Amino acid sequence: MTTRLAAIVALAACGSGTKAPPAVAPVAAPPRVDPAALAAPAAFERIADRAERSRALFAEIAKVLQHPRCVNCHTPDETPRQGDTHELHDPPVARGSADRGVVGMQCQTCHQDHNLELARVPGAPGWHLAPLAMVWLDRSPHEICEQIKDRTRNGDRSLAEIHEHIAKDRLVAWGWSPGWGRTPAPGTQAQLAELAAAWIDTGAECPP
C-alpha cells in the first residue's frame, strides 16, 4: 500500500495523465465502476449541481439502455437483432403490425415465457419488439433520454410510469437473466430502478 501511494504521489507530482483525485473538487466527476456493474445513486451525490447530477445519473442508466440485451429489440427497422454484436435475427422475422411478428412467424411461435436452456431459445413473458417510436439501437444517451421522456414516443407514460416499467416489467427483467450464452445487462434491475428514481428526483435531465 505504501509503495502504491508513493507511486501515485510521484505520478501526481510529475504532472502525468494519471492523477490522484483532488481532495475537494469543484465539480466532481461521475463515479467509475466496472462496465458490468452499476454505480449506486449515493455515488453521484458528490456532484454538487443537481442538473449535472441528473445528467450523470442518466449516463449511468444508459449503460443498461444501450446494452445489446436492450437495444437488440429496440430497432429502427423490421427485424430484431441478436447476440452481443447485433446480428440480424436468424431465422429472418418481420416486425408485423403489432410488433409481434407475422402469421407463421410470430414471436411466440418460438419464444416461450422463459428461457430454454437446452434449446437455447431466449424467452420472457410478452416477448416482442419495441415499437418503432422507441428506437434505441445506435442512438446516443441524449437521444434515448429525450425519447424516454416524450409521451408521444414512450407509450404515453409519465416519469412515474417509466420508473414502474423499469423496476417491475418482466420483459425488462429478462435483460439480467438472458439465458445461455448471452451477456447480462450491467448491474441488477433493482439497481437500475434506484438510479431511475434518483434521475427523476433530480429533474430527469438529459445528457448533452
Partner 1 sequence: MIHVTINGVERDLDVDPEMPLLWVLRDVLGLTGTKYGCGEALCGACTIHLDGVPVRACVTPVHRAKGRAVTTIEGLSASGDHPLQRAWVDAGVPQCGYCQAGQIMTAAALLAANPAPSDDDIAQSMAGNICRCGTYVRIRAAIKAAAGAKK
DSSP string, 66-119: TSHHHHTTS-SSSS-EETTTTEEPSS-----TTSSEETTEEHHHH--SS--TTT
Q: Which 109-148 residues touch partner 1, going by CB under 8 A? A: 109-110, 112, 116, 118-121
- Listed in sequence order, the residues at least 6 apart from 55 whose beta carbon sits closer than 8 Å to its beta carbon are 205, 206, 207, 208
Binding span for partner 1 by CB under 8 A among 44-52, 62-70, 107-115, 139-147: 107-115
State which of residues 17, 35, 92, 208 lies at the interface with partner 1 (CB under 8 A): 92
79 binds partner 1 (CB under 8 A): no
CB of residue 128 to partner 1, shortest distance in Å: 14
State which of residues 93, 129, 185, 198 lies at the interface with partner 1 (CB under 8 A): 93
Determine the size of the site formed for partner 1 (CB under 8 A): 19
Specify the 3-state DSSP secondary structure of 208.
coil
Output phi, psi for 52, to 5 deg.
Answer: -65, -40
Torsion of CA 125, 130, 131, 137, to 10 degrees: -170
CB of residue 170 to partner 1, shortest distance in Å: 16
102 binds partner 1 (CB under 8 A): yes
Interface pattern 152-191 for partner 1 (x via CB under 8 A) = ----------------------------------------
CB of residue 110 to partner 1, shortest distance in Å: 4
* Neighbour tally for 193: CB within 10 Å: 17
Tell me the β-bridge partners of 158.
none
23 binds partner 1 (CB under 8 A): no
94 binds partner 1 (CB under 8 A): yes
> 79 exposed, middle or buried (CB, 10 Å; 0-12, 13-18, 19+)?
middle
DSSP letter, residue 35: T
88 binds partner 1 (CB under 8 A): no
**CA distances for 157 relative to 63, 162, 166, angstroms:** 22, 6, 12
CB of residue 89 to partner 1, shortest distance in Å: 10
CB of residue 111 to partner 1, shortest distance in Å: 8
- Binding region for partner 1 (CB under 8 A): 90-94, 102-106, 108-110, 112, 116, 118-121
